[in-house]
Amino acid sequence: MTLVTAALIVLAVVGSNAFQFWDPAEEFPQLNTYFDNNYIGQSFETLQEKHPDLVKISSLGKTPGDNDIHEITITSDVSNWQTANKPSVKYVANMHGNEVRGRGLLLKFAYYLAMSYESDQDVRDIMATTVFHLLPTINPDGFATATKSCSGVDGRYTSDGTDMNRDFPSSWQSGTRLKFANETKMLMNYATRVPAVLGISFHDGALVTNYPWDGVPDILSGKYAASPDDALFITMAKTYSLNHKSMSKRAAQCGQDDFKDGITNGNKWYKVFNGMQDWNYMYNDCFEVTIELGCCKYPSDAADTFGKVWSDNFNSILKFSKLANSGVKGRATDYFGNPLTDVTITVSGINKTTKVRHPEGYYWRPLLGGTYNISASKHGYYTLARKSIVVREEEPTQIDFILIPKSQVRARKRRRRRKRSV
């Protein structure tokens, strides 16, 4: 790779960001405090009341500690988000209850999207093309018992003692799993109901963007474990880290950490089995990364913590979100225009298929720029292949698939045979 080519890649990843910066804590000071779990639900209710065309709230259910796992969906014309031709992104935080920055970041992000919609054309544009699903805490019981500490474990686990980031299914599962924590089961059910193209899980304890694989049995911890979409994940990770104010700078990283460009392959850092990001990529076709937002897990100064995390990550989270509309996109239908789901999308040279999961047959498949052969297949239908599809970095390439049922062709052949025999 020449220096010129490398410079062009960095420019494409970093680029410019025209979104107008605004800290919602200027108007809502409580966002810069260590608010409790109820405040998340109250805030979401307020946003829904004020912006009913943009905001829809829900709860994944009650935890054993009687806390809701609050979720907010934000997009234009939100009442029709489930059938709209838009990819979903899913951002979650506070999986480890004592890692707190993501709570403030995602709550501010919800306020920012809803309240900047009228004044910022760039916000309107991204909400016209993307559905945001934000869950500021997926382990509220853990947070309720956490104590301020940079390296402690109080509150890390769920109320039944489960480390959620070691609690998801895996095709190379480590050990025999008898049950999942209630919170894990709620997240798994949610991922089925709300299929997302991109995902982030926000953590604390380092300053880095971590990408799959997190753990592969036959590769030692500390060694690189490349996923089939390794080059794409590297670009995704750099999109976040290089747009962050300091993540890519060695001086800002923690202790002895020295992550080049502020990114790391999970297994290369340290092996994690049954983690959520590998599970989402493997089973849900959700291209998820794990982002460590800071060295101290639960700092003592909430205002400084949440003020800095918002300004540091503002460009990163918006730039990363745009990747949901990259690569190829399209619709899978039958010969009569009826949408098809459970269609397998295969890309030449990448040993990772994805499924059409949208009820209207829409699909999105992030890819780097290049030329690909792409096919669509479904049981009972003939496979349709498209060759030499050019994918550009600037915008997704539209590739629709009309699949012909084998039964229809067989019926035609039978009718023709009958006609010839008459």
CATH assignment at residue 403: 2.60.40.1120
Residues 320 and 339 in one domain: no
List, for residues 107-143, the tens digit of each pLDDT value.
Answer: 999 999 999 999 999 999 999 999 999 999 999 999 9
List, for residues 65-81, the tens digit of each pLDDT value.
Answer: 999 999 999 999 999 99
Residue 419 counted as domain residue:
no
Residues 259 and 357 in one domain: no
List, for residues 158-204, the tens digit of each pLDDT value.
Answer: 999 999 999 999 877 655 555 899 999 999 999 999 999 999 999 99
Which pTM does this prediction carry? Answer: 0.93
Active site positions, annotated: 292
Give how many domains the chain has, as a whole number.
2
Residues 318 and 334 in one domain: no
Last residue of a domain, one of 264, 296, 325: 325
As a whole number of angstroms, the distance between CA 270 and CA 215 comes to 8
Residue 414 counted as domain residue:
no
Residues 274 and 347 in one domain: no
Residue 363 counted as domain residue:
yes
Residue 420 counted as domain residue:
no
Contact 156, 138 (CB under 8 A): no
Residues 361 and 303 in one domain: no
Q: What is residue 179's predicted lDDT score, i.e. its pLDDT?
A: 80
Residues 238 and 155 in one domain: yes
377: exposed, middle or buried (C-beta count within 10 Å: 0-12, 13-18, 19+)? middle
Residues 307 and 355 in one domain: no
List, for residues 30-49, the tens digit of each pLDDT value.
Answer: 999 999 999 999 999 999 99
- Name the pairing type of β-strands 287-294 and 206-211: antiparallel
List, for residues 332-391, the tens digit of each pLDDT value.
Answer: 999 999 999 999 999 999 999 999 999 999 999 999 999 999 999 999 999 999 999 999
Residues 386 and 244 in one domain: no
Q: What is residue 6's predicted lDDT score, i.e. its pLDDT?
A: 43
Residue 397 counted as domain residue:
yes
Q: Which two tokens stand for residue 6?
A: 């490398």
Q: What is residue 88's predicted lDDT score, i.e. its pLDDT?
A: 98
As a whole number of angstroms, the distance between CA 262 and CA 280 comes to 22
Q: What is residue 8's predicted lDDT score, i.e. its pLDDT?
A: 40
Residues 165 and 253 in one domain: yes
Alpha-carbon distances of 254 from 207, 251, 259, 292, 296, rounded to whole Å: 7, 8, 10, 11, 9
As a whole number of angstroms, the distance between CA 335 and CA 255 comes to 59
Residue 422 counted as domain residue:
no
Last residue of a domain, one of 292, 308, 325: 325
> Looking at residue 314, which CATH number applies to its domain?
3.40.630.10
Last residue of a domain, one of 282, 306, 325: 325
Contact 291, 183 (CB under 8 A): no
Residues 120 and 220 in one domain: yes
Residues 181 and 64 in one domain: yes
pLDDT band at 393; cut points 50, 70, 90: confident
Residues 175 and 129 in one domain: yes
- Whether 215 has a pLDDT exceeding 70, the answer reads yes
Helix (H) or strand (E) holding 21: none
The residue with tokens 């609050």 is 70
- Its domain, for residue 383, covers 329-409
